[in-house]
Every structure is written in structure tokens, then in C-alpha cells.
Structure 1
Amino acid sequence: MSQLNFMMITASPEVASFIEQHGVPRIFMDQEVLGKAERQGHLDTHKAAHSLQEIAAVAAVLKRAELMVRLNPLNALTRQEVEGALDNGAQRLMLPMFSSRAEIEQFMAMVNGRVPVTFLAETAASLVRLPDWLDLLTPGRDEVHIGLNDLALNMGLRFLFEPMAARLLDPAAATLNQAGVTWGVGGIARIGQGELPAETVLGEHVRLGSQWIILSRAFHAGAATSADLLETLDFPAEMAKLRQAEAYWRSADEPLLLDNQRQFADCAYRLGRRGEA
């Protein structure tokens, strides 16, 4: 099985150029604002909207990495958002907060095959209906990413990893793997960090067959330049730690992966209980 692929959110051309040289094959830029503050205002998540000028600036420096732009959920201006992102260098688009096959068909018609699309499955309805809409995607081109922050909120859960703790993603993972559709889920902190240890999270990615993961802000801390990035952390060394941890889980047998899943669940539920009366 191939290695996990990493993507990272940044609007800095210098940071984007640096990280593509150190194992990050996809730069993630974000234009989603509609409804996000209302849903995630209490969470420490990315909420800034990148401008078309920022997208164009990052696109201009990339040599190998793919530039993906997340748009708003479907709305009256989606066609304009699609055209604006593509005109400024987006090589892949991401559609968030969809729930139905009809929404995917509508978005696909607007994109009209010009770039691949990643569908961000982050509602309970999108996961339940996965077998109904998956045939609209082209394997090897279009992808699915499961968004844990909004999925947990949509389910009324306290901690973003609780759906994985309950193995609610196992059926979706099996369906995606069988269909040959590339997919990923959530994000990850640096090795040795995170309320739920990054090493434990990586084990679940390997067990489920996930192929993409977002590097959290722990990997850049808002750095605007490569010098800032290197001053904040040794980025190449942190990437090497991720690969070492992944290699460990790739060599693990099923009982060890299942034991890791149980530890994952215990920790996720414990964190989810915080603040309960």
C-alpha cells in the first residue's frame, strides 16, 4: 500500500514552496466562509478566507504540489466561485457541507471536468448516502475527504474524533476502498503532540486505508516565511517522524491495529466527556 499523503493550509507563497520540497504534495487554500463561523465559532479551526490574489500568488510558485481550493457550500454564487478559483490557478476544487447526490451533480456540471474535485463529506447525511453518490466520482481523479469537525457537530458530539472512536467510518472506508476512490480523513498534530496522540491517530489511518491527511497548524504556527517555519520547528525532521510512525503501523498486524483502535476510542471518549455535568 502507498504512503499517506499530506496536505497543508497556507496562503504564504514562500511557505508553500518550502513545504512542497519537503514531502507535502498538496497545498490547501480555503475560501469557505458561509455558515462556518456559526457552526465552528467556538472551535479552534481555520476560518480565514483566502483571496483570489492570494491563490494566484501561491499558484505561481508551485512546481510539483497540487493546489486545492475549498469553496463555499453550494449557493447562488457557486458558479462564480468556481470560475474565480480556476482562473487564478486552482488545480483541484473542494466542495464542503453537501448532503445529497443532486448537490454533487450540480457542482460537477459547473466544474465540467476541468479539474478533479474532492468532496468533503462532513454531514451525517453525506456519509449515510455515500453508496448513492459515489458512482458520480471518477476513481483516480476525484476524491473524498471526511471532515471530522463538522461531522461531530452534526452528530451532536463533543469531540471531533468520536465518530472514528465508534468505528462509524469503517463502512464508508470499506466502500471507498472497494470502489478504488482515493480518500482521507481529518488532520493530524505533530508526533508527541495532540490531545489524542498523533501516533495513535496514524494507526487508525493505516487500519482504515486512508490515503490523505491534513497537517494541523502545529506544523506551521502561522509562519509566513520559510525562515519563520524553520525557527518555529524543524519541518523536515517533523515530517520524518510522521513517516517513521507510519512505517511502524504499516508493519503492524491486525491485532495490534485493533488494540490501537481501542486505545484511540478510550482516549477520544475521555476527551469527549470533558465539561459534562
Structure 2
Amino acid sequence: MSQLNFMMITASPDVAAFIEQHDVARIFMDQEVLGKAERQGHLDTHKAAHSLEEIAAVAAVLKRAELMVRLNPLNASTREEVEGALDHGAQRLMLPMFSTREEVGRFLDMVNGRVPVTFLAETAASLVRLPDWIGLLTPGHDEVHIGLNDLSLSMGLGFLFEPMAARLLDPAAAQLNQAGVAWGVGGVARIGQGELPAETVLGEHVRLGSQWIILSRAFHAGAATSAGLLETLDFPAEIAKLRQAEAHWRSADESSLLENQRQLAECAYRLGSRGAA
């Protein structure tokens, strides 16, 4: 039985070395700053830019997890950003805020197959145009992640899970699954936390066929060391709770998954309406 793959943002070598031993398959580091504060300044999202030195320090300790670095949207310095990240140990690159096939092609040309790429589809345009650019990706190598924060903002919505509530991701999920391109969407809080229950979110991942999910800051609370992480929560136990919830949905029938989607929609619309008020 396939399982969701977990990734988590951290710049701490100690935390990275610890979590890769506890079912975190990808360490996510972030250099995106261009336009991010303007788009997401009012949201509680990750906005710190990790330095090349921090990337190298994390790369030096990893033994099994993949190190992915998110760069800035395409700009005059993108080639330099690509080379810098690769020179300092990045094993996968992520391109945010693209909209067209031409942008996907340009970035792939710069990377030139040296590492796989994850394309962060986080605008309405990138989703609408998915059939136009998906053919440029190499299945089993390149991936797609659907970013709910900027996607919901680009649609003028009040809560990030409203696109999922409306089943707007269903066509993209079907296209990606049919093409054999691994993909993921959004993030998840700890079981028992979050305005939208993590259990409900996991059920929708299973229904759609998602393969990747980001562990939210509820799993680390900014801890700089593994000791600090364990003071905040029992990390292995929290991962086990996610796996238990996931296993429940993988054994569920289609009607149960659709009922879960209905409940997700009801909650997401309620929270979205509150946010828009």
C-alpha cells in the first residue's frame, strides 16, 4: 500500500538529521523572497529566506531524506540562484509562481536535468494551463506541488482550502495521476489541531491520489534543535497519528471519501466566509 510522503521546512541541521529518521522523506529549504511579503504579508506563513550556508549545513548531515530548495520566481538572477543552490547541496529545486509553459521550459533548460524539479502550481493560470505544460516534465523525476495559500489568494478566497472544497483540484489530480507525475498539495497540521481537522485533510489527499504533503509548523514550532523539538511535542508519536489516520482513509470506500470531502467543503466554506467578512 502506497503512503503519503512527508516534507518539512527547517534550516536546523540537528532537526533535519532527527526528522529524517522519523518518516520525513524531504527537507524543504526556502530562498523565495521576491513578492512574497506583498502577497502573503497578512498570513501566518513561512517567509524567512535560508542562506546558501544554511543549505550547505543541512545538506552535510542528511543521509536518507532529499534536500529540496525553493528558489524565487523566474527573474534576472534565476540562473545564478540555480547554480548557487546546486553548488551548496540542493538535490531538488522548486520553482514558485509560474504561469506558462514557456516559464516551465526556461527553468528546465537552466537546471538541465542535473536534479529533479518540483513546480509549485499556486496560481489559477498554472492550474488552468496544466495540460499545456505537464508534457515538459519527466515522470518519475519531476513533480508538481499545488500551493493552496497563493492559489486561494489569486482567486480572492478567504480560506486556503476553498479550492479543494470546490473540487477545483480534481481535474489537475486526474491529469497528473494519468501522466504518472508525482504530486502533492498544501500542508497538514497535527491530529487534533487546526481549524480544518487534519484527519479530514488526509482523507482528501487519499481520494485525490496526492503523494506529498508538507508538515506545518505545528510539528516543530520553530525549534532549532532536536531537543527543543522534543520539548514541544513527541514527534514520532505525532507522525504515527498521521499514519493511523491515513490508513483509515486508505481502507475506506468511495462513498466515505466523498462524504469526507463534503465535510471538508462545509468547514472550508464556513471558515472562508468568516475570513471574508
Q: TM-score range by the shorter chain?
A: over 0.9
Task: Quote the offset at 1:276 in angstroms.
Answer: 4.3
- Partner AA of 1:98 in structure 2: F
CA distance in 2, matches of 1:194, 1:127: 26
Q: 1:99 deviation in Å?
A: 0.1
* CA deviation after TM superposition for structure 1 residue 8, in Å: 0.1
Letter in 1 for 2:150: D
Map of 2:71 onto structure 1? 71
Partner amino acid for 2:62? Answer: L
Q: CA deviation at 1:28?
A: 0.1
Q: Which residue of 1 aligns with 2:3?
A: 3
Deviation at 1:275, TM superposition (A): 4.5
How far off its partner does 1:171 sit? 0.2
- Does structure 1 retain, via aligned residues, the 8 Å contact 2:116–2:142? yes
Q: Partner letter of residue 169 of structure 1?
A: L
- Check conservation: 2:185, 2:210, Cα contact below 8 A: yes
In 2, distance between residues paired with 1:97 and 1:275? 24
Distance 1:200 1:94 in 2: 27
- After TM superposition, the structure 1 = structure 2 runs for residues 1-277 of structure 1, keeping only pairs within 5 Å, are 1-277=1-277
> CA RMSD of the aligned region, Å?
0.6
Given residue 233 of structure 1, which amino acid in structure 2 is its aligned partner? L
1:170, distance to aligned residue in structure 2 (A) = 0.2
Describe the SS at the equivalent of 2:33: coil
Letter in 2 for 1:262: R
> In structure 1, what is the Cα distance between the partners aligned to 2:182 and 2:144?
7
Q: Give aligned-pair identity as a percent.
A: 88
Query: One-letter code of the match for 1:61?
Result: V
Q: Distance in 2 between matches of 1:39 and 1:33?
A: 11
For residues 115 and 209 of structure 1, the distance between their equivalents in structure 2, rounded to whole angstroms, comes to 24
Give structure 2 stretches of 5+ with no counterpart.
none
Cα distance in 2 between the residues matched to 1:247 and 1:193: 19
Give secondary structure in 2 for the equivalent of 1:238.
Answer: helix
**Number of residue pairs matched?**
277
SS of corresponding position for 2:274: coil
| CA distance in structure 1 between the aligned counterparts of 2:104 and 2:272, rounded to whole angstroms | 32
Output the amino acid matched with 1:270: R
The AA in structure 1 aligned to 2:2 is S
Misfit runs of 4+, over 2 Å: none
| Contact kept in structure 1, 2:158 and 2:276, CA below 8 Å | no
Give 5+ residue unaligned stretches, structure 1: none
Task: Tell me the amino acid that sits aligned with residue 121 of structure 1.
Answer: A
SS of 1:213 mapped into structure 2: strand
CA contact (8 A) 2:158 2:275 kept: no
